[in-house]
Homo-oligomer: A and B are copies of this chain.
């Protein structure tokens, strides 16, 4: 039966040491499970730690040891389920390794990204996992975080020219191969006039996905009309609004490879508004395999990226880097897999 007297002041090592008549150093050794300390002393100290309700001050320890116990995770969009799952994966591994996750959201703004990085870096994380905001550049990022802290870039490349002393690891999806698979699948279904729809060409992931599409089209000897490549913000709403552009000029496409699932779902909406039934009159594919993809009408053919696993992987890559700061820079490309659902129908026989 322990009586808990609500205390204002925080309990420190010295309090515990005084409480059981040993020195601070001894208590410190007990805390860290050192084999040096005598069994009997250890028991006494541990009892006293419990009794006083001591809580370890990791900040103080980190200061003295010049270590860090946190890893920063900076995301361009946490409201996107893809990144939310990614974050969950990161946090799991980071936690297992005894670190704590410092979270920062940039809402796709490179200005906020700088502010967030600046604020996080002051807390001295051991490393940073960054999924850059659209249009953020290497110079910006380096200016905000310095070159001291190991960086793992996820999902996107940084724009701008790279100072030659800059180096970081990268984990990206195999965007190009993914859209190539999707395009080939549509071609195999019998489509010849295939569009590439949505996204902003400023993003590196856009350029890669578009390259996969172009590659597949060219390999099949199919030509690409200019108006089949329509850019829009990677959101449902903007995608729906831009649908008309696909059909502005003849010949109209019979299928589209979309930049991602959000865009594909928006395109479905836009098609319906024009009286076209997605999955019957027009085929389309997405990218990401968000939860809604399987639930939409028709269910969406897309590319799964296993965001939770990618999160774990990102954290593991960063931990590897922490263990060996001098190792050569790694660029990891994670595979993606085509999931065929009803949205990628054969062309309608008109």
Which residue numbers of A lie inside 8 Å of B, CB to CB?
A: 4, 6, 10, 53, 55-60, 62-63, 66, 69-70, 73, 78-79, 81, 83-85, 87-88, 91-92, 95, 98, 100-105, 107, 115-116, 119-124, 146-148, 165, 265, 291-292, 295-297, 308
Contacts and interface: CB of A to CB of B under 8 A. Distances in A.
A265 B295 contact: yes
A286 to B, nearest CB: 13
Given A59-B62, A70-B123, A95-B119, A101 B100 contact: no
Contacts of A295: 265, 292, 295-297
A102 B123 CA distance: 11
A116 B88 contact: no
Nearest to A91: B105
Given A79-B88, A92-B107, A100-B123, 20 more contacts: A10-B66, A55-B122, A55-B146, A57-B124, A58-B123, A59-B59, A69-B123, A70-B102, A70-B123, A78-B85, A78-B87, A88-B107, A95-B115, A95-B116, A100-B102, A100-B103, A101-B103, A101-B104, A102-B103, A295-B295
A115 B146 CA distance: 33
A119 B104 contact: no
Contact of A297 (B120, B124, B165, B297): B297
Contact of A78 (B58, B63, B84): B84
Contacts of A6: 147, 165
Contacts of A148: 10, 55
Nearest to A85: B79
Contact of A291 (B58, B103, B124, B292): B292
Contacts of A60: 63
Contacts of A122: 55-58
A228 to B, nearest CB: 26
Contacts of A120: 100
Contacts of A73: 103
12 contacts: A4-B147, A10-B66, A55-B121, A55-B122, A59-B124, A78-B87, A81-B81, A81-B84, A84-B87, A95-B116, A100-B123, A295-B297
Contacts of A55: 121-122, 146, 148
A78 B91 contact: yes
Contacts of A124: 57-59
